[in-house]
Structure 1
């Protein structure tokens, strides 16, 4: 039963990541004159948080399924659930924002997941800028 619940958490995390990226791509920026609204940056922040938490849930679920994906120094990440939660969310946030510090490193399938997360970290600002420019050009053509 616990394994099924963890697989469900991973599926929800993946769906949340996909939906948040689609939110970023489909949201129409609100322009006030030539300035963007704070709403646009709030959406970008919300997408970053959702993606970081989603990948963190994937790391936690895999660790709870005894698939070792993270190490801290020479030791496997683990101990209490709260320590695992802290390490997984820290690793996820650092990976998406800066491609890591090296204090916690991925193993096995965790490397592939971390590469995908780092790719999202670089893709999100690009998607934000491209969608904003696209919608700005549409607005200019309409006027």
Structure 2
């Protein structure tokens, strides 16, 4: 039950962040600004940590989300959280180092996260370009 609540809150935060960045691209009348760059970095951080929280919540409930080439030493929940955020970052940016591999439900969550990470830059560039084109 707690996993569902945490996952829902994380997905809501991610959704609101995505909506906010696309809704507020009218920072300055430039095609690129420091404020836009910082906003995009914060958006990626929120998405990465949000999915990391989902992975960690599932792991804490006993659901195997990813496996490692080198077995984990079971420790505190913070280790699972750090590892989950790392896995989330590698998935979001479609790096795929291969040291962690999604399994079970983690495969489907990783696919969704990779789609967000893959399409977000294209969508942001298109939005900024269209906004710049309208201003001309």
TM-score (norm 1): 0.86
Contact in 2 for aligned 1:77/1:87 (Cα 8 Å): no
- Aligned match of 2:3 in 2, 6, 21? 6
Q: State whether structure 2 residue 3 is matched by structure 1 residue 20.
A: no
- Aligned match of 2:122 in 113, 119, 126? 126
Q: CA RMSD in A?
A: 1.8
| Structure 2: unaligned runs, 5 residues or longer | none
- Aligned match of 1:51 in 26, 40, 47? 47
Change (3 A) 1:119 1:99: farther
How many residues in Structure 1 have an aligned counterpart in Structure 2?
Answer: 136
| Structure 1: unaligned runs, 5 residues or longer | none
Give runs of aligned pairs for residues 33-72 of structure 1, distance below 5 A. 34-72=30-68
Change (3 A) 1:82 1:103: same
TM-score (norm 2): 0.90
